[in-house]
Structure 1
């Protein structure tokens, strides 16, 4: 908290009670900082900052509350914060990291690049700067940043990789688009991938996933992406794939609940993996040989059984956009281009090899118990 005598904290408590005076407003059961009126609008609060969106009557009610505070300066249309730009128009909202990238300086390189880097802290500092832009505007960057930040003994080659990542940020500008989708055909799509094996060093193992809101036209906008080390040891790649998919589904549940509260309708979820082994385990009744993935497997089976996941799909590895979140660009083999293609085209339509729906799984014949 900041401000004299925790002023921001007290401000937050005061405004909470005033927001509740808006007709039919309720506190979201998914997030305790979000208030909403179903089908009309929502308010998100963080200490003394608020973000609100909705129809004209809802916004008018919020304005009548906030106008009593001279500390608030409303921003509309285009907003820039810490170098990240967000603008809105009739097509939707767009986020861009262009101005931020030009404020970052590259690292000095001294040959030979195979020798230890002279200033590891500066490399980790650059990785942290790169990571900042990822969750907001460049989901293709955090994988590199995470790998570089976790280098225990970086070399000059690692510093060059950091500079290459920065150059990519500047040379290939990508704008995240949040278009207006068809509310009647919305679906939450979850993609997950894992990179690593039983013999891979821990810094080289990576979990990556994303989830997006998609409509029948296959237009989408990204709700969340993640790229990080696995939070527990996976003895094999299949257990890692199960962990990544379970993490992705778990991360999507709260956001989906919020959207369902706001739209007053159920939003189905589809999960995608490029691991045939993980898909076969989830859709069968086999026990895993690698017990480190047992809990994730049972969680995913339960989600498919009760309809939390409406359908589970296995896609071609070249079509999985989460691949770029589990492998850095300097990995060999390099990640596919599915994520960049999706971000550039605004369309998310992977090639599906096989799928199982919740209804199919519930009605599948169970194996007979042995006598």
Structure 2
């Protein structure tokens, strides 16, 4: 039996994601397809434009299961993001993991992974991390591979390393990305457009153009609700930074080299999230890395919290088809959580809290208690 896993964010779900799913299915011919998806906060350090339940429902038109990536992996660097996704893929008995990449060559990515893995244990790598380098930037600075400078290639290499690290039997595969670049803010002139450009278009109410690149029903649903952005939580973030001591801020995950002092200094004069990050940003501290740090501050993710984080036997399922439901019934030795209640809340407490925080900024009403697992035919 073949079980295909895809590690995703779907922020928002769009035609490029459908292309990735269909090409991955053609490559592996699976009996079951699983999307392991970030919840309401993402690896780019952004609050999701629409809630995890809405994104799950859209994805279930194309996959059999949607599992939630644990919060602490979802908002972390590429290696931790990959570890969390691979762990859940293993728990759900995946046989194949297929991801998008700029290169489209799994052999090249495996070779690059072989080159980069030993660098993680080097003093030079740890020194760069302490200086504030992101994981990809530190590896790229030390390795002789052009693949390490492209975001999806870099994440693909992280998946391959995570598979090796956990001695997983899952086979990695890749689909070449097409359309505009991952970080492009303008909509593509080709068939597919990036999630970044689609978010920008939706925030500007350019729905007519966005409709070319997204499912019609999802756009209609999204436009009837609040579209979330990091600006929504800026005033709360400002209050937190101003009221916490520098010692408390220093203990936040990813806070390095006295950055807490820079945050306190710049927050006083910035009147928006974008203005604040623009003032803090340097060549060393990229926008994405700083945004992940802001999420950590907002959710009080400390170094101690990350040290205590363990990948468990619990898997939170957000949605499933009848086919996915049958697959879940065949899995043993895994605590499958479909509906959250008082008894199992502690197993997904961070995800529950993140959703409650998300709702305070967006006015959303769906939470992990009042929204049962989504089941579609």
Bucket of the pairwise TM-score, normalised by the shorter protein: under 0.3
TM-score by length of 1: 0.26
TM-score by length of 2: 0.26
Say which structure is richer in strand: 1
Greater C-alpha radius of gyration:
1
Q: Which of 1 and 2 has higher RCO (CA within 8 Å, sep 6+)?
A: 2
